[in-house]
Amino acid sequence: MYVGQRLKRKEDLKFLTGEGKYVDDLAFPGTLDIFILRSNVSHARLTKIDVRDALNFPGVEGVITGLNFKLDNRPRNFPMAKDEILYTGQPLAVIIAKDRYTAADAAELIQVDYEELPSVLDPETSLKNEIRAIEDKDNVGYKKVYSAGDPENAIKDSDVVIDEKIEISRVYPGAMEPRGILSVYQQGSLTVYASTQSPHYMRKFLLSVLGDKVNDIRVIQADTGGAFGSKLFPYAEDFITAYASIVTKRPVKWIATRSEDMKSTYHGRGQIHHVKAGAKKDGSITAIIDDLILDMGAASHSTYLADIAATMLPAAYKIANVKVNVYGVYTNKTPLDQYRGAGRPEATFVIERIMDILSDEVKMDPIDFRKKNLVTSLPYKNPLGINFESGDFISLLQKSEHVYREFERKAEELRMKGIRAGVGLSFYVEENNFGPWESASVRVRGDGKILVVIGAAPHGQGDGTAVAQIVADELGVPIEDVDVIWGDTAIIGEAFGTYGSRSLTLAGNAALLASRKVKERAKKLAAQFLKSDVQELEYTNGKVVNPKTGKQISLKEIASKVTENLGGPWVYKEEPRLESTAYFGMDDLTHPYGSHVALVAVDETGKPKVLDYYAVDDIGKVVNPLLAEGQVRGGVIQGWGESVMEEMVYDENGNLITGSFAEYGIPTSMETFNIKWDFVEVGMSSAPLPAKGIGEGATIGTPPAVVRALERAVGKRITSIPVKMDNIY
Ligand code: MCN
Ligand code: MO
């Protein structure tokens, strides 16, 4: 069995040997580059763009301004500003030239006339609606109330009530490879190579507005150096580049520089919660009332993040009375969207801060306080309608509690030596496997090698290896004979992609089902070669056998037999097909859960350091614990970065101050630390291979654990991230 083994990734070698092919590594003769002139004011009325000098610049092939398509929820004037500029970094003009340097030089000759308008950057100021972020538009672009029970009265009935402002700053989903796209025009059609999480979705959204200008669009995912949620939804640059290649009838490439990526890639998180929560003396929570403000930036495509955060807020706890008032507000900033965890890290940070703060207020041990309120039997439907399908919260918490007590003893020893140290524990419920379905094809080739094409589009997770494990087990063949490929709209019918920690469960199960169908095909074909009735045959260990006669034929032999006799007659009673496609989806999302424990020390300058770290998850069946652990390790470090260093900061004029890695703190190898990961396989999903996702879990579990540890180390209540050194000095 390969499933369950810690196999190394099949996909790593090409990257380790420098043979990866990212978009910018691809070269086509005659490729033109584009440079995007972006706004350097955050709010203005655009009156005129004069491009004459730029057009005459040697090497320039064209300039585009005012390009607009109708797409829901994108900024007014998308993909380029036309009459109103809404944020610094918004595209104003596009220069197409023989190379990127020429394009950038020509851009300097463009004259932009505008009248500045007051801008609003702070989401709470925006909520007041005194200054409009978008002219003629209410700043509150989204409003929704989630409510259950009678929270107002339940709060009044509490022995202890807390009232806190909890802030989760905006962050940059900093993938190693910035975004990039290459659109190749040929005979009225486009082949688009992109750094993306979903070629199929990209094809769909490009076709939705360019469909009348081209015959077809094929999207190929180039090797993609990470995405963390940020390369899924449509971007201005996708449309601009594809459009530029249509008008020039040439290949056109756009590659973001790092600083360009930081202002144009949708930022993540950006939520403020004003929370009131109450508890009884015995530690039972009475109610939570939360005003959730989502800092949407200049567009409204991020509202689903507030919905996820609101409905997941009660988390693993029995809280009957809850109300979340959601306000999505416009600000003159880069639009917001998902970043690894997408709404669940925000919900978890808020609820876990509440758990710790309430436990302090009722003077209870924070773990006992959690136990008092934890959901004890699953399935369980939370008051806002989310169904937690399977698992055992209490026993997992007991596991992490054990580590918590041990870390507490270590912290105590450190404190005796005068070192400021603290321990924090978080318990979280995840929501993943966002749907609706995924596809996979399994093809046995003439040489017996197996090609699996999955509709998911991994970009660092390692799903290719795990899917190969699943298929190799099911077909009973060596894993070396199984190749998994993905990321091309022309090689797989329809598909969705990689996001919402769904690839292993949905594409993995689709591959499992496709393999089962292939086994049925193999039996049918074997029947004629073994001169048996198909009912008599069994498929085991890569062979079809007839237990009665003892005759057998391997999958490889069948594949070879149906592809021999070049030029010969059709001799098959059965169609010689040894391939199958399957689609797999589930009725509902999955809800794995886990717990993180951190031991953190703060030195005399206020610099925090993680001394020890433990995480435990229940994601149902774990296909490859090495890959899952890799996800947790990366996620913990990202969660640490978000907790203590990462923040997108704007000045009062709307300039992005953290516009490069010189100003934006992102963890490096120097900030990593020891992480121990454990898993249990209790809460199975309903899929044939009963897995749930792990791709985002650690970014959800980490911030509340490390922030609690910091709070304990310095003895000061902490309610916003990133925690600033001067707060804990
Ligand atoms: N896995 C497993 N057993 C399970 C579940 C998963 O062995 N029961 C393994 C899978 O084989 C895969 C990995 O764990 O190698 C993650 O699988 P899964 O949970 O299905 O998540 P996805 O593959 O769908 O990845 C998406 C997820 C998301 S939503 C973000 S955001 C994120 C993340 O993955 N972005 C990443 N991890 C990332 N890791 C890298 N390197 N780069 C990103 O951009
Ligand atoms: Mo994601």
170 Cα: distance to centroid of ligand 1 (angstroms): 23
Cα 509 from Cα 582, distance rounded (Å):
9
Residue nearest to atom 40 of ligand 1 (CA): 460
Can you give the pLDDT at residue 726? 75
* Nearest atom of ligand 1 to the alpha carbon of 507: 20
Q: Which two tokens stand for residue 493?
A: 């019918």
Cα 97 from Cα 100, distance rounded (Å):
7
Can you give the pLDDT at residue 701? 98
* Segments in 563-694 forming alpha helices (H): 625-644
Ligand 1 contact via 618 beta carbon (within 6 Å): no
Indicate the DSSP class of residue 453: E
Can you give the pLDDT at residue 567? 87
Query: Are the beta carbons of 683 and 391 closer than 8 angstroms?
Result: yes
Indicate the DSSP class of residue 498: S
Q: Which two tokens stand for residue 207?
A: 């076709």
Cα 237 from Cα 221, distance rounded (Å):
16
Can you give the pLDDT at residue 466? 98
437-585 CATH pick, 3.10.180.10, 3.90.110.10, 3.30.365.10, 2.30.250.10: 3.30.365.10
CATH of domain 268-433+588-728: 3.30.365.10
Residue with tokens 């990961």: 677
Can you give the pLDDT at residue 266? 98
Residue nearest to atom 26 of ligand 1 (CA): 501
* Nearest atom of ligand 1 to the alpha carbon of 224: 44
462 Cα: distance to centroid of ligand 1 (angstroms): 7
Residue nearest to atom 34 of ligand 1 (CA): 695
Ligand 1 contact via 408 beta carbon (within 6 Å): no
Domain ranges in the chain with CATH number 3.30.365.10: 268-433+588-728, 437-585
Please identify every residue whose CB atom is under 5 Å from ligand 2, which is an ion. 229, 499
Ligand nearest to the CA of 484: 1
224 Cα: distance to centroid of ligand 1 (angstroms): 14
ipTM over 0.95: yes
Adjacent-strand bridge partners of 485? 453
Query: Are the beta carbons of 201 and 471 closer than 8 angstroms?
Result: no
Cα 538 from Cα 546, distance rounded (Å):
6
Residue with tokens 């669940």: 344
Can you give the pLDDT at residue 570? 83
Neighbours of 713 (CB within 10 A): 24
Ligand 1 contact via 501 beta carbon (within 6 Å): yes
Ligand 1 contact via 698 beta carbon (within 6 Å): no
For 245-260, how does the pLDDT look when each residue is reduced to its tens digit (9 = 90+)? 999 999 999 999 999 9
* Nearest atom of ligand 1 to the alpha carbon of 340: 31
Among 665, 593, 622, CA closest to 386: 593
CATH number 1.10.340.30 is the correct assignment for the domain at 22-118+195-248: no
Cα 539 from Cα 523, distance rounded (Å):
7
Ligand 1 contact via 638 beta carbon (within 6 Å): no
Residues of the chain with pLDDT under 70: 729
Give the CA count within 13 Å in the CB-facing half-sphere of 721: 30
Query: How many residues are listed for the chain in this entry?
Result: 729
75 Cβ contact partners less than 8 Å away, ≥ 6 residues apart: 86, 87, 90, 298, 299, 335
Domain ranges in the chain with CATH number 3.90.1170.50: 22-118+195-248
Residue nearest to atom 1 of ligand 1 (CA): 628
Out of 504, 591, 624, 629, mutate this one to test ligand 1's pocket (max ligand atoms within 8 Å of CB): namely 504
Can you give the pLDDT at residue 571? 78
709 Cα: distance to centroid of ligand 1 (angstroms): 27
Coil/strand/helix, residue 540: strand
Residue with tokens 């008051």: 383
Ligand 1 contact via 496 beta carbon (within 6 Å): no
688 Cβ contact partners less than 8 Å away, ≥ 6 residues apart: 509, 512, 513
Q: What angle do CA 189, 194, 196 make, to 5 degrees?
A: 130
Coil/strand/helix, residue 646: coil
Query: Are the beta carbons of 265 and 179 closer than 8 angstroms?
Result: yes
Ligand 1 contact via 502 beta carbon (within 6 Å): yes
Ligand 1 contact via 693 beta carbon (within 6 Å): yes
Residue nearest to atom 27 of ligand 1 (CA): 695
Q: Which two tokens stand for residue 227?
A: 């995405």
Query: Are the beta carbons of 336 and 302 closer than 8 angstroms?
Result: yes
Which helix (H) or strand (E) segment holds residue 429: the answer is strand 420-429
Out of 338, 430, 501, mutate this one to test ligand 1's pocket (max ligand atoms within 8 Å of CB): namely 501
Coil/strand/helix, residue 566: coil
Can you give the pLDDT at residue 36? 98
What dihedral do alpha carbons 365, 369, 370, 371 form, nearest 10°?
A: 100
Ligand 1 contact via 464 beta carbon (within 6 Å): no
